[in-house]
Amino acid sequence: MLEASVPAAALLGLLGLLVGSFLNVVIHRLPRMMEMRWAAECAELQQSAATPSSPTPESADAAPEAATFNLMVPRSRCPHCGHQIRWFENIPVLSYAALRGRCSQCAASISLRYPAVELVTAALFAWCGAHWGLSLEALAWCGFSAAILALAGIDWDTTLLPDDITLPLLWAGLCAAGLGWIDTRLPDALWGAVAGYLSLWLVYWAFKLVTGKEGMGYGDFKLFAALGAWFGWQALIPVILMASLIGAVIGLLIKFNGRLREGGYVPFGPFLALAGLTAMVFGPSAILAAIGL
């Protein structure tokens, strides 16, 4: 079994490097695409409210810009000097090492997060290959890992959890359970999704009624529902406990370092994501054992 899993781990690990490179694009561009879409929608509403027969300059400019900016185009450029990244400068991890973490044109520093995302994605994909071999179950969990990493990166940067990822992740979990691609039974997945969403929704409204403030966003409900769909309702308590524990520890460290963002807000999505990946690798029961329950 171990000998058979080594080629699968190597193959999926290589795939993970390529997917990780694409995830860097998703993390950077998807929030911008969302903002451009919102701006275009606002411009259309202003146009229809003001002069329905004549387009405003804002709406005329927003549409072409949104049409030419997506996950595929334009090609990646250095944010400092505008240098277009050539194909040999975009090889996962290797290009970063060859360039010594700097732009080949202006020598500006390139964030270490780019190779880190690629390596973490490769490691998770390799683990799936080693654990499940070349199978539909391995591919399903590889997809889960990629989506979770993208959501964690986006939420950390922008405090957004896009429906473009959370909802497909939720439906993918239900479909994978229904088709037998993962161990989770469909009834457990269904009630996991329901309980995951409603539990945080109730916490949100209870907190808002008591304090008058919003303690989390609706994206957190959807992400927790997606985790419930993938792991079943039984995993919800271990996952939320681990996410809360990790969030409390990291939040305190950030506060003591004086790096809290404006408003003192720390997004909860990355901690849910980390708890979900922990549940995938070690199992939900191992989480309870790790925290002494």
| Successive 10-residue mean pLDDT values, the chain, 293 residues | 73 96 95 88 82 52 60 84 85 91 88 95 96 94 97 94 96 96 95 96 90 85 97 94 88 74 76 94 79 60
Residues 147 and 94 in one domain: no
Question: Do residues 206 and 246 both lie within one domain?
Answer: yes
User: In the block, which residue shows the tokens 């290959």?
Assistant: 129
Q: Tell me how many domains the chain contains.
A: 2
264 is in which domain, residue-wise?
135-293
For residue 262, what pLDDT is reported? 61
Taking the C-alpha atoms of residue 18 and residue 146, their distance in angstroms, rounded to an integer, is 11
Residue ending a domain, choose from 134, 166, 194: 134
Counted residue by residue, the chain has a size of: 293
Q: What is the pLDDT of residue 165?
A: 97
Q: Which residues, in sequence order, are CB contacts of 203 under 8 Å at separation 6+? A: 215, 216
Token pair 């996952």 is at which residue? Answer: 239
Confidence (pLDDT) at 189? 97
Q: What is the pLDDT of residue 291?
A: 62
Centre a 10 Å sphere on the Cβ of residue 41 and count the other Cβ atoms it contains: 12
CA–CA distances in Å: residue 25 to residues 92, 150, 216, 274 = 12, 9, 26, 20
**Do 116 and 141 belong to one domain?**
no
Query: For residue 259, what pLDDT is reported?
Result: 65
pLDDT of residue 2: 47
Residue that terminates a domain, selected from 134, 163, 194 = 134
Looking at the structure, tell me whether residues 213 and 150 fall in a common domain: yes
What is the per-residue pLDDT for 51?
A: 64
Q: What is the pTM of this model?
A: 0.88
Single residue among 134, 166, 201 that ends a domain in this structure: 134
Q: Do residues 140 and 276 both lie within one domain?
A: yes
